[in-house]
Structure 1
Amino acid sequence: LVHVFSKFSISKKPRCTLIIKGYAGTGKTTSIGAIVRTLREIRVSTVLLAPTGRAAKVMASYSGISASTIHRRIYVGARRSDGSDVYKIAPNLFKKTTFIVDEASMIGESSGLVTNLLDDLLEYVFSGVDCRLVLVGDDAQLPPVGCSSSPALQETRLASMHSLTIATVELTEVVRQELDSSILANAHALRLDIENADSEGKINFPKIDLSVGPDVVRLPGLELQDTLETLHGRYGEEGVIVVTRSNKRAVLFNGQIRTRVLWLEDDINAGDRLMVVRNDYFWLKDHKELPIELIANGDMLEVSRIGSRFTRYGHEFAEVDVILSDFPDYPSFSVTILLSILHDPRPSLPQSETKELYHAIAKDYSDLRTKSAIHKAVISDPCYRALQVKFAYSLTCHKAQGGQWPAVILDQGYLTQEMLNKDWLRWLYTAFTRAEKELYLLNFDDKFFT
């Protein structure tokens, strides 16, 4: 890695890109931390990026310098004359700068605000003077939704489609002390299963070894409540997550955790932890004291105060004050949230219902003289701009990707032999590697252990 990185750093070729692939426990984090420190010592400008706020936080902690989400760095929001939001790629004012992007397996060819996230990232980075890009990721993890593989880690495709000069390093050797961890030893075994699996064919139940260490534990459903209470005492609510296969299961777990473990009776309470499920530029536009403009999909919030609740246009809303979990030292701010979607198994409000909401609100502004005036009023209406959030005590594996928690409870959910395939193995591997210290396997079938 050191040799390849040295050549990459001094190469005069255009659009220099280094891909560093590595599985869990192969020293990716340590390597990136060392690279960042070396670049700083030789006074090379460095910018750290990650797909989610939580991943950026992890990156900042191991590198010693601040990291940002990709969305916050590469996009700038503006308002059209009619009041609607428009996003464009921010000018890259950096010169001779190395951009390092962690968790690159999550970067897909959708979810961008201009074209797609991967294209937008590349356009931003290489519009700067003599800038270079390092993409770091684990291609055994779940690919982005709608992709069969992780496009940001496919060197041949990147080179041909984006005219990049690419070098690739693959870290494959698991650091010896990491194999003392049952979590990482099992993740290593799962990664080998993924490599050997036929992409189309079915597979057998992978074997989970509980003898390596005490950090992977089988958990019967009857012990879930007691275990959650113990783990909350040990790590705090924010240090524990239940990972599931589906939004529907996540809604069920969130409901049970709130009522049976946290003793919360209302549909939302002060202290509740939430995850944003749709990007929003509206609510922070008047809060110049906060370090960001965008509340991004995947950001975590904590409710500090509950204001009024009301039903309007066929939906329930609440006015609340929230704190951004990634910026806990900054003041809270007020938002309107859409309560209807909070307990809904769907990932967010569908486009068809968003349209219905738009037309219902427009009727309230029918006294305005022009269509453009009505449109401007609707898209500035707090109900139309209501923040879409989910409870964050239980998340799907895709939503949890990019973050790690001290304790993870992994829900097997409904599973048959026919459902076992390579995609499922990637899901299991990704879920295992969300856990830092303890992993509990909830209601896992005996076939995993015999």
Structure 2
Amino acid sequence: MERKELFQLLENAFGHIPTDGQRNVMTHLAAFLLSNKPNPFYLLKGYAGTGKTSLVSALVKVLPLLRMRFILLAPTGRAAKVLTSYSGFIAHTIHRKIYMQTQTADGSHRIVLSQNKSKRTLFVVDEASMIADTTSDGGLFGGRNLLDDLIQYVSEGEDCRILMIGDHAQLPPVGLDISPALNLQMLKTSYPITAATFELTEVMRQALDSGILFNATRLREKLAANQAEMPLLNLGSFNDITKVDGYELEELMQDTFGSRDFTKAVVVCRSNKKANMFNQAIRQRILGMEGEISSGDLLMAVKNNYYWLESNEGGGFIANGDILEITRIKRFEEMYGFNFADADVKLIDYPEHPAFEVKLILETITTDGPALPEPVFRQLSSAIEEDYLEEPSRRKRYAMMKKNPYFNALQVKFAYALTCHKTQGGQWPVVFLEAGINKEEQLDKAYLRWLYTAVTRATEKLYLMNFIDAFFEQAQAETTKEP
């Protein structure tokens, strides 16, 4: 097939008249898909509303005509669900596709790279801004360099290539200043790939009818111009973005969360401390939940866990960021000076996966940090180690501890309210967004990026909570005071 013919097929599948930028991408994609160069790699960057999703939808319709398979990937289960919904095809998390769990001689678990048996396959990777190139244990894929592993996995297949998609205005991975998977120069320097890129900047006309996307575009423009100054938002006559006060807020949350359809809404906060406060308020005042945790509670795993899933089940581990629902509480207990619960849970973003039993450590739920603080975990480890002191070898003692269910208790937080980093890659019809700052002098470029990422989590309705009037263009700020 010739490039011109492939371009025409992409344009026909697109469904409406493309912008100049989208036409450029189609030209690039035609060359990329037909390339015979080693390890073809295309980086598609674009802001919210610029048509990245429409291009992917067109692309997957055309690939069968090239006799090319495709695999859709995203960093989290929630992001994979979004990719599935707009592409019409099942998407997987990166870790469930490229990793497998093995057991070492001492019985401990280890994550290793799977073998890529794919042939003539395009790997479409969405939400690439979240993909780190570090190996810190606190990341989504603790102890592994996800970017390295992804590129290595794809390159080991026969005639495989990567289409990486992301928005560099979004938050980079935790602890990094930039998103390495969206940095073409770094990618070309670090990996043996044949790479090209394009960035979509023109917002599609129909997207500007949305107050959410209109304001996301304003924020992105301020970010690009390095203008960290008020006002940031314009409510205008849009009906999908609203500033709410305390009285309205409780009523709206009652209507939204009272239905217990937790796929519908989320509260987005800037700190774990604030998220904890909202989680407790929603549980107690709206859902009527009593006790530390209850059957029906929605949880998020905040640290990778390799113990509770069999190696052949769902990728073999529970990933940091996975959402779980408690289907049954079996018992509570206190051991080693800590509180635990045995519960049956199901993975919300993997409905085909049956419920399974876990042991939860409850101290994580209320901690103001992202997970159990390291000194606290060391305290638990020391208490557990005392049970194995008859074994003189410290190495063997540690191997025995790694089989202990309390040592492997799942670290979780409630998932009604989350920090922006934890919501990244996901979308909800309704988002309640807490301002995160209450003084104009707290505004900086990092906050602009945070706010842009948070605003673009909402697809239908965005409620703004605790935003001072300085955030809004004055005429709009005045009108939002009306009930």
TM-score for both structures, normalised by structure 1: 0.95
Amino acid at match of 1:219: V
Q: Which position in structure 2 is the counterpart of 1:209?
A: 234
Contact 1:46 1:100 (8 Å CA) reproduced: yes
Contact 2:212 2:455 (8 Å CA) reproduced: yes
- Distance in 1, matches of 2:147 and 2:439, equals 35
TM-aligned CA deviation for residue 350 of structure 1: 2.7
Determine whether 1:440 maps to 2:469. Answer: no
Q: Taking structure 1 as reference, are residues 234 and 379 closer, same or farther at Cα in structure 2, changes over 3 Å only?
A: closer
TM-aligned CA deviation for residue 418 of structure 1: 2.4
TM-aligned CA deviation for residue 100 of structure 1: 0.7
TM-aligned CA deviation for residue 113 of structure 1: 4.6
TM-aligned CA deviation for residue 235 of structure 1: 8.2
Amino acid at match of 2:64: R
Determine whether 1:402 maps to 2:425. Answer: yes
Q: Which position in structure 1 is the counterpart of 2:95?
A: 71
Q: Which position in structure 1 is the counterpart of 2:203?
A: 174
Q: Taking structure 1 as reference, are residues 216 and 186 closer, same or farther at Cα in structure 2, changes over 3 Å only?
A: same
Write out aligned runs for 1:354-433 (5 A): 354-368=377-391, 370-433=393-456
Amino acid at match of 2:346: I
Amino acid at match of 1:414: I
Write out aligned runs for 1:172-251 (5 A): 172-197=201-226, 203-232=228-257, 236-251=261-276
> What's the CA shift string for 1:316-342, capped at 9, x where partnerless?
100000011012243211100010101
Amino acid at match of 1:59: L
Decide which of 296, 318, 337 is 1:314's aligned counterpart: 337
SS in 2 for 1:92: coil
Q: Which position in structure 1 is the counterpart of 2:174?
A: 145
Amino acid at match of 1:179: L
Q: Which position in structure 2 is the counterpart of 1:328?
A: 351
TM-aligned CA deviation for residue 373 of structure 1: 4.5
Decide which of 88, 106, 115 is 2:130's aligned counterpart: 106
- Distance in 1, matches of 2:143 and 2:34, equals 32
| Structure 1 stretch displaced more, 108-117 or 323-332 | 108-117
Amino acid at match of 2:333: F
| Structure 1 stretch displaced more, 323-332 or 383-392 | 323-332
Contact 1:89 1:114 (8 Å CA) reproduced: no
- Distance in 2, matches of 1:54 and 1:134, equals 20
Q: Which position in structure 1 is the counterpart of 2:307?
A: 282
> What's the CA shift string for 1:381-406, capped at 9, x where partnerless?
11000001110000000001000001
Contact 1:18 1:133 (8 Å CA) reproduced: yes
Contact 1:181 1:212 (8 Å CA) reproduced: no
| Structure 1 stretch displaced more, 304-313 or 157-166 | 157-166
TM-aligned CA deviation for residue 65 of structure 1: 1.8
Q: Which position in structure 1 is the counterpart of 2:3?
A: none
Contact 1:37 1:63 (8 Å CA) reproduced: no
> What's the CA shift string for 1:108-134, capped at 9, x where partnerless?
122345542111211111122221011
Decide which of 255, 266, 289 is 2:280's aligned counterpart: 255
- Distance in 2, matches of 1:425 and 1:160, equals 30
TM-aligned CA deviation for residue 166 of structure 1: 1.0
TM-aligned CA deviation for residue 28 of structure 1: 0.8
- Distance in 2, matches of 1:331 and 1:115, equals 27
SS in 1 for 2:248: helix
Contact 2:299 2:324 (8 Å CA) reproduced: yes
Q: Mark the runs of 5 or more structure 2 residues left unpaired by the alignment.
A: 1-24, 475-483
Amino acid at match of 2:229: N
Amino acid at match of 2:369: R
TM-aligned CA deviation for residue 367 of structure 1: 3.9
> What's the CA shift string for 1:56-87, capped at 9, x where partnerless?
01111211221111111122211111122222
SS in 2 for 1:304: strand
| Structure 1 stretch displaced more, 360-369 or 388-397 | 360-369
- Distance in 1, matches of 2:32 and 2:355, equals 43
Q: Which position in structure 2 is the counterpart of 1:266?
A: 291
> What is the RMSD computed on CA atoms of the aligned residues?
1.7
- Distance in 1, matches of 2:396 and 2:148, equals 35
Q: Which position in structure 1 is the counterpart of 2:59?
A: 35
- Distance in 1, matches of 2:436 and 2:218, equals 22
SS in 2 for 1:210: coil
- Distance in 2, matches of 1:370 and 1:139, equals 49
> What's the CA shift string for 1:172-220, capped at 9, x where partnerless?
221111111110111111111111016xxxx211331112420000011
Determine whether 1:157 maps to 2:186. Answer: yes
Contact 1:45 1:97 (8 Å CA) reproduced: yes
Amino acid at match of 1:121: L
Q: Mark the runs of 5 or more structure 1 residues left unpaired by the alignment.
A: none
| Structure 1 stretch displaced more, 337-346 or 229-238 | 229-238
Decide which of 51, 71, 75 is 1:51's aligned counterpart: 75
- Distance in 2, matches of 1:170 and 1:333, equals 43
Q: Taking structure 1 as reference, are residues 166 and 212 closer, same or farther at Cα in structure 2, changes over 3 Å only?
A: farther
- Distance in 2, matches of 1:217 and 1:179, equals 16
TM-aligned CA deviation for residue 225 of structure 1: 1.5
- Distance in 1, matches of 2:424 and 2:198, equals 22
- Identity of counterpart residues, as a percentage? 46
Amino acid at match of 1:408: V
- Distance in 2, matches of 1:362 and 1:233, equals 44
TM-score for both structures, normalised by structure 2: 0.88
Determine whether 1:94 maps to 2:123. Answer: no
SS in 2 for 1:257: helix
